[in-house]
């Protein structure tokens, strides 16, 4: 992709400033309708997910105490993996977004929640909720575009380091939670600028260290020790669960903003941005994943990335419900609602990582597909 402003066939050229504000009003109305209707059913949903996650986690860990026995290893590892995914995606990510703050339950609140992740909740909230969600897909502002280690847009300058990015991406997938923690504490910037002694950075690093220590102690020391003779097999099980959870969340998150069809934006384009324009940027800067209900839950409903980016604080169980209304709005205004099945979206995102590891070729900048709304970088 190329920032939308530089495209020969700008997919929003047909919209007037007035259209954009009307789109904003319509989206506000969708949000207000959900809020007016939000209630007991939603509360029951999140409590059920939390209860399921906790029951699954504790019973899987109990089964793993006997992980020397292969069926126990398989069942326990599978259960723990799912529990860890639920903890991070449908519960952690969404609670930390404030999606459930309205319940006024101090136990399920963005200011009190912690997750099974090495990035401390407050650091993640700042880099994710505040920066990524505010500056979504603005090149040079939204560091989620390649996490500072990869080039995922033609308009990001190429550097020989990017030749290795398919490998970086693979490593990032395997150890994603560590990548996120490093990213949230801005480790890269501090390393580059030799500012490792900055007290703010040190406080953040200390908090990350504490979380890593706790997780390592739990997953790789205490739980294996409790397993007695099954020490090594439990260790392998918890490592596997963390690995699969990492690869899964990495894949889901890549699908949110990297697949073809997603637009990026110039830094200057958001100066004085109106609410309607902010909405429009979210609409074009995100991509969904299609699939069955179970997939949506396992992705934390980030398979409705478009709806999530429009309304980051609406309860996640509502995204699927409002998706048809949102999609109808896209259709009415001739905008492209990017969506596709998981394998296709993952492949598309990976292809971009591989392709952009090489410098831009001039002929790539030419439109390759017909139709006024297909962005030039879509191939």
Q: Which residues bind to other proteins, rule: CB under 8 A? A: 28, 31-32, 35, 38-44, 51, 54-55, 58, 61, 96-98, 101-107, 109-111, 114-116, 125-126, 129-130, 133-134, 211, 214-215, 217-218, 222-223, 226, 275, 278, 312-313
Sign of CA dihedral 108, 114, 120, 124: negative
CB of 358 to other proteins, least distance (A): 35
CB of 375 to other proteins, least distance (A): 26
Residue 358 CA neighbour count, 13 Å, CB half: 7
CB of 121 to other proteins, least distance (A): 8
Owner of token pair 């501090």? 190
Beta bridge partners of 290: 341
CB of 36 to other proteins, least distance (A): 9
Judged by CB, which is closer to other proteins: 37, or 189? 37
Residue 164 CA from chain centroid, whole number? 23
Residue 138's SS3 state is strand
Cβ pair 89, 249 in contact under 8 A: yes
Judged by CB, which is closer to other proteins: 104, or 293? 104
Query: Could you tell me the two tokens for 93?
Result: 């990510």
Judged by CB, which is closer to other proteins: 108, or 150? 108
CB of 353 to other proteins, least distance (A): 28
CB of 104 to other proteins, least distance (A): 4
Judged by CB, which is closer to other proteins: 54, or 327? 54
Judged by CB, which is closer to other proteins: 313, or 321? 313
Q: Which of 38, 81, 73, 22 is nearest to 56 (CA)?
A: 81
Judged by CB, which is closer to other proteins: 98, or 188? 98
Judged by CB, which is closer to other proteins: 54, or 365? 54
Please state, in angstroms and rounded to a whole number, the distance separating the CA atoms of residues 264 and 341.
22
Q: Which of 299, 280, 287, 290 is nearest to 260 (CA)?
A: 287
CB of 348 to other proteins, least distance (A): 27
The conformation of residue 155, written as its DSSP 8-state character, comes to T
CB of 168 to other proteins, least distance (A): 28
Judged by CB, which is closer to other proteins: 151, or 318? 318
Tell me the CA end-to-end span of the chain in Å, nearest whole number.
9
Please state, in angstroms and rounded to a whole number, the distance separating the CA atoms of residues 26 and 56.
40
Kindly report the number of other CB atoms within 10 A of residue 199's CB atom. 7
Please state, in angstroms and rounded to a whole number, the distance separating the CA atoms of residues 121 and 112.
9
Most distant CA pair in the chain, distance: 69
Beta bridge partners of 289: 340
């Amino acid at each position: 992709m190329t920032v939308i402003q530089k495209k020969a066939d700008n997919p929003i050229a047909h919209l007037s400033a007035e259209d954009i504000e009307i789109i904003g009003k319509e989206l506000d109305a969708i949000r207000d309708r959900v809020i007016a209707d939000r209630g007991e059913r939603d509360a029951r949903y999140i409590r059920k997910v939390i209860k399921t996650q906790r029951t699954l986690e504790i019973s899987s860990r109990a089964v793993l105490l006997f992980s020397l026995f292969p069926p126990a290893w398989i069942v326990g590892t599978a259960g723990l993996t799912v529990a860890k995914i639920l903890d991070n995606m449908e519960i952690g990510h969404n609670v930390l977004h404030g999606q459930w703050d309205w319940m006024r339950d101090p136990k399920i609140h963005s200011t009190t929640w912690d997750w099974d992740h090495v990035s401390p909740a407050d650091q993640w909230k700042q880099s994710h909720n505040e920066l990524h969600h505010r500056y979504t897909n603005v090149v040079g502002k939204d560091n989620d575009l390649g996490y500072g280690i990869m080039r995922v847009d033609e308009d990001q300058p190429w550097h020989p380091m990017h030749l290795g990015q398919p490998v970086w991406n693979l490593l990032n997938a395997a150890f994603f939670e560590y990548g996120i923690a490093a990213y949230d504490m801005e480790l890269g910037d501090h390393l580059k600028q030799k500012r490792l002694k900055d007290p703010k950075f040190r406080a953040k690093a200390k908090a990350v260290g504490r979380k890593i220590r706790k997780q390592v102690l739990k997953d790789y020391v205490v739980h294996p020790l409790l397993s007695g003779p099954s020490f090594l097999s439990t260790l392998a099980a918890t490592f596997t669960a963390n690995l699969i959870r990492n690869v899964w969340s990495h894949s889901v998150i890549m699908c949110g903003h990297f697949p073809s069809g997603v637009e990026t934006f110039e830094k200057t384009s958001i100066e004085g941005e109106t609410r309607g324009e902010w909405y429009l940027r979210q609409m074009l800067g995100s991509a969904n994943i299609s699939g069955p209900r179970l997939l949506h839950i396992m992705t934390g409903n980030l398979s409705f990335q478009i709806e999530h980016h429009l309304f980051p604080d609406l309860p996640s169980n509502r995204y699927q419900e409002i998706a048809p209304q949102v999609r109808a709005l896209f259709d009415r205004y001739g905008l492209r609602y990017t969506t596709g099945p998981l394998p296709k979206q993952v492949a598309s995102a990976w292809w971009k990582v591989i392709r952009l590891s090489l410098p831009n070729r001039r002929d790539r900048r030419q439109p390759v597909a017909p139709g006024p709304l297909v962005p030039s970088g879509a191939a």
